[in-house]
A = this chain, B = another copy of it.
Amino acid sequence: MNDQPTPDMLARIALAQVVEPGNPKIGMQVTQRGACDVVSEMLAHLSNTRLPDLAAAEREVELAATIGVRLVFPDTLDWPTQLDDLGPSRPLLLWVRGGGQLRLGVVRSVSVVGARAASEYGLTLASRLSSDLARAGWSVVSGGAFGVDAAAHRGVVAVRDRGEGPEPGLTVAVLACGVDFGYPKANASLFEEIVKRGLLVSEVPLGTQPRRLRFLVRNRLIAALTRGTVVVEAAYRSGALGTLRYAEKLGRVVMGLPGPVDSYLSGGVHRELRAGALLVTSAAEIIEAVGELGADLAPEPTTPNRPRDQLGSLSRVVLDLFPAREAIAQVDLDRAAGLIPGALAVVLAELEAASMIRPNGAGWELTARARA
């Protein structure tokens, strides 16, 4: 929002100031009758609740402008249209801090979520996946919590600091509190880094404290903004699994990174994988799952090519008959099962030409090359 706010915008802000986020009843009414009408009705009837206040909304606009926070409204240029998939629980508006453009920044994005009390394993992998995603031009969306959230943001921040990749992705933190509130406080310096190299986003007004319910409803935004959600570590009851549920409902790709089965922090992830979430082990596999069909295929895992890989399948079967350290007699080779009569001589000639076997007395033996 660059110009003066419209009456609809002010009404939306005023509603966001007095209604808990993600309220589908209010969302429905706003869609059907417009925010101004909803505000008028609330002012006329619900005298016992906290009432919307258009003057307070004006003050919010001024405060946001003063501290460099943009207000982004539905159906405007910077609005991420994928949030419209939320239907009546679509946010009334978003508060945004940071350099990047919101809509373009999250067109190709993935959310990386998980436990606050993550293990070294979870932190390392969250950070590595996010770095690799950003390097490949994909943005990473997460919350603002300790653990996996913070590690995911740090992975992107590191890539952008080093200027890696032609167009590295952004890091986007969706907060359950106001974008100026910075909860948890210990992540304050991380939030400042995110503002410089990505975006802080919230659907609640400046100064709003986080509450449990706000974290839960905030998770729907993380799921809705992205093409898929990866859970890196999560115990059986982790809130991060709530984001997966939203992703599932919204038809986004639901993914999990496996871990040691004796780590309770992978327990929730493994349960999701057993229930049908896609197992992913790398950013390439994530991108393959959420990317354009055919354009973002993960490379096949590769292992060193061995001399025997160059051989035809019949030759390999014959080679497998050889003892590792001794010669094999021709008569023993002859009983090689299922070969077309006469084919054995051809195969042996091929193997000898490939320096895989050499004659030994009345038979053959493997060369050093074949043993490699």
Contact = CB atoms under 8 A, between A and B. Distances in A.
B125 A262 contact: yes
A176 B363 CA distance: 23
Contacts of A6: none
Interface stretch (A110-118, A145-153, A272-280): A272-280
Given A270-B281, A274-B279, A303-B237, A320 B261 contact: no
A79 interface: no
A235 B303 CA distance: 9
Nearest to A331: B50
Interface centre among A23, A25, A49, A125 (most CB of B within 10 A): A49
Interface in A332-348: 332, 334-338
B261 A335 contact: no
Contacts of A262: 121, 124-125
A211 B320 contact: yes
Given A48-B331, A50-B334, A267-B301, A322 B261 contact: no
Q: How many copies does the complex hold?
A: 2
Chain A, interface residues (CB within 8 Å), range: 35 or more
B258 A336 contact: no
A317 interface: yes
Interface stretch (A14-22, A161-169, A221-229, A243-251): A14-22
A323 B209 contact: yes
B261 A23 contact: no
Contacts of A50: 331-332, 334-335
B335 A20 contact: yes
Given A279-B270, A320-B213, A236 B301 contact: yes
A149 to B, nearest CB: 18
Contact of A24 (B19, B258, B317, B338): B338
